[in-house]
Structure 1
Amino acid sequence: MKRVLSFRLSILLLICSLNAAPLFADSVTTHERTVTKVSEGIYVIRHPDAPDSFPQGNTTVIIGEREVLVVDSCLLPSSTKEDIKQIRQWTNKPVRYLVNTHWHFDHTNGNALYAEAFPGLSVIAQVETQKMIQSFNPTAITSYSNRTERFKRYLETGKDGDGNPISDAFRKDLTNSLNGIDSVVAEFKNLTPLAPNVTFDHELSVNLGNREVQIRFLGRGNTAGDTVIFLPKEKIVIVGDLLDHPVPYFYGGFPLELAATLQRIAQLDAQTIIPGHGDIQHDKTYLTQVIGLVDEVVAVVLKEVNTTPGRKLEEVQQAVPKAVDLAAWRQKFAGNDQENRDNFDASVESLIKVAYKQAMVR
């Protein structure tokens, strides 16, 4: 499956903060809305990318005997409204809970629409996620239109925000983004960001009626407040952007802690893993593969930083490919798909940079 590299990278240049990932996920390019019935009363909705190529996160709907829980509320209001309409076709039971797996707005923009459609809704998030949604997301949404002029400047000058020449692929993606951005800005114009009204530190459980849902914080990785939703009876785990498929998401976050957090997910008695973006996984093969890659890269970064005081990023970047067979890892994740291969290279490059940054401040 193909994904768009340059547009994702362009957002890296536009929106980031010290220990936070960009407001997007490095997802497969998705052109249509699909619904997958994972188990009785449990559905995963995959959304098409926004008109400007911005990816939309997966939404999971869990229906119990009494009420409904939804995981992640999507990016575009129009997509959220379609999801709500679909849920009402599935059941007349109320959506009582909405869980945000993390703060990125392709997973949280629809919060207010759910609250409007289902009075008394509890919007749940780990405490760090709530803080980010409250402080960062409103400004990011209102400033979304600013990228129009910035993208135009990149095209006119032929250089990105760091002054580096833009590639033909980057130019094409910028053009595609500009062709679709007006409709996205129009949707965002009346969007009201809504922060969670229920928070937890480590674990929270709800019962939807003969269906237990465990909401857990297993550690930092993609963000400071990554939330995992586990259904022990059904052996299903929903992990947000801690895991994206087919190429993992390593922009920002806490790479020195990521493998341990993913390992805790692997220890759960789950047979189905629902990622933040991409295909549902029916075993732990892909999860284990991501853990292996992170472990290898981070180990080299730490060795370089710890054994040579004052080690420069450029030196670490040169050391990693000598110690880790990145070509073999690229083949495992991306095969012969050039866009996925490019995405893998860019994601691993970010992993090295952010791991170095985190290692230097420990």
Structure 2
Amino acid sequence: MARGFASQNDLADKKVSFDELGDGLYAYTAEGDPNTGIVVGDDAVLVVDTQATPVMAQDVIERIRSVTDKPIKHVVLSHYHAVRVLGASAYGAENIIASRPTFELIQERGQQDYESEAGRFPRLFRSIESVPGLTWPTLVFEEKLTLFLGKREVQILHLGRGHTKGDTVVWLPKEKVLYSGDLVEFGATPYTGDAYLKDWPGTLANLRALGAEKLVPGRGASLLTPEQVEEGIAGTQDFLTALYSAVEAGAKAGKGLKAIYDETMARLQPRFGNWVIFEHCMPFDVTRAYDEARGVADPQIWTAERDREMWQALERGTAMKSAEANP
């Protein structure tokens, strides 16, 4: 029997860091687990990504309360993935903000993603019974939304497709601090199962053009200098380029998914194998890249059943209906 998802064996607690990036600007990170950003304004707090369950979010709230008693009025969803959004109810925010494509993805596949991710990440979904249901935005924007937390300007931007079609970043232009969501990872493997791999580098170029001097990635440690920021962006792009070029070459040669997966793993392991969640992400990453290289424009919906089917296909070499059909 094929082994379970790599993430199902990742059960050890991670060390949490609560980094101060500047006056009232913080990052909640945990050794490659999903990050949360905190912006404290003159009159309110804004949170970027929420953790996976309301109970898991309580630790973030405790850290916020250690530095301010201002109300948490705004929650920004960097994208639709359950591990990022299902803890939102814990904050009691007035506004839950998302890009229009993120709202559309929640409508289209939010429930399937909830069930898929909860099955793959048991540690991150502790106390899943505390989740009241899908997280629905109360405020949806097109390309840019500017908030003023008193005198503090916060820009919420959709710079293009990448990790998903709805990726959102939070940018503080005066402080030059950026919360990137999963568009940028640092020492952590980008998950591309719902990605637009050919668009992602262009979106990274738009992100780079902001000129951030500090950056909180979706996973990994806070980047606290311009040099570290560039290292994070360049590293993410290097992974994406290596992944897609390897898979595209195999697809053009007429190879099947299993063969391409094995070859791509062998090619990327020496450079990226020590990154967090490498073994977990790669089957999903190669499957999406294989689809995109064969002309499947939009990512297929991941369900718990499709997850298992894909994993068994790449563990055992059995046929994967959803990956092989309708190129």
Which residue, out of 8, 14, 28, partners 1:45? 28
Aligned to 1:271: 213
In the alignment of these two chains, the number of paired residues is 289
CA distance in 1, matches of 2:258, 2:71: 56
User: Take 2:202 and 2:80, find their aligned partners in 1: how far apart are those partners?
Assistant: 21
What is the letter of the counterpart of residue 72 of structure 1?
Answer: D
Residues 209-288 of structure 1 mapped to structure 2, 5 A cutoff: 209-252=150-193, 253-282=195-224, 283=228, 284-288=230-234
Of the three residues 125, 143, 148, the one matched with 2:98 is 125
Amino acid at match of 1:360: R
Give, as a single letter, the amino acid of the residue that structure 2 aligns with 1:37: E
Residue matched to 2:288: 354
SS in structure 1 opposite 2:166?
coil
Length-normalised TM-score, structure 2:
0.74
Q: CA deviation at 1:134?
A: 4.1
Q: Give the structure 1 partner of residue 139 of structure 2.
A: 198
Structure 1 pair 193–332 and aligned structure 2 pair: CA distance change class (3 A): same
SS in 2 for 1:70: strand
Compared CA separation, residues 313 and 60, structure 1 to 2 (3 A):
same
Paired residues of 1:28 and 1:246 also in contact (CA < 8 A): no
Q: Match of 2:290, as an amino acid? A: Y
Is 1:100 equivalent to 2:77 in the alignment? yes
Q: Show structure 1 runs of 5+ residues with no match.
A: 12-26, 49-54, 152-173
Structure 2 CA distance for aligned equivalents of residues 333 and 209 of structure 1:
43
CA distance 1:139–1:290, change in 2 (3 Å): closer
CA distance in 2, matches of 1:29, 1:217: 34
1:276 partner amino acid: G
1:317 alignment counterpart: 260
**What is the CA–CA distance in structure 2 between the aligned matches of 1:204 and 1:360, rounded to whole Å?**
36
Instruction: Let me know the Cα RMSD of the aligned residues.
Output: 3.7
Corresponding position: 1:36 with 2:15: no
Q: Which piece of structure 1 moves more, 214-223 or 27-36?
A: 27-36
**Could you give the per-residue CA deviations for residues 110-144 of structure 1, whole angstroms, max 9, x where no partner exists?**
222223xx4xx111001121233345444655788
* Distance (Å, rounded) in 2 between the aligned partners of 1:144 and 1:349: 14
* Matched residue, 2:316: none
| Per-residue deviation, 1:65 | 1.5
SS at match of 1:90: coil
Of 58, 61, 66, the residue aligned with 2:38 is 61
- Which residue in the other structure is 2:237 paired with? 291
Distance 1:56 1:325, change over 3 A: closer
In 2 relative to 1, CA 241–28 (structure 1 residues): closer, same or farther, beyond 3 Å?
Answer: farther
Could you tell me how far 1:100 is from its partner in structure 2?
A: 0.4
TM-score by length of 1: 0.67
8 Å Cα contact 1:28-1:278 kept in structure 2:
no
Give the superposition deviation at 1:96. 2.2
Say which one has the larger Rg: 1
Q: Is the 8 A contact 1:259 1:291 kept in 2?
A: yes
Matches within 5 A, 1:22-33: 31-33=14-16
Post-superposition offset of 1:61: 0.8
Q: Counterpart of 1:358 in structure 2: which amino acid?
A: E
- Contact kept in structure 2, 1:74 and 1:80, CA below 8 Å: yes
Q: Which runs of 5+ in 2 are unaligned?
A: 298-327
- The whole-number CA distance in structure 1 between the counterparts of 2:52 and 2:262 is 38
Q: Provide the secondary structure at the position in 1 that maps to 2:38.
A: strand
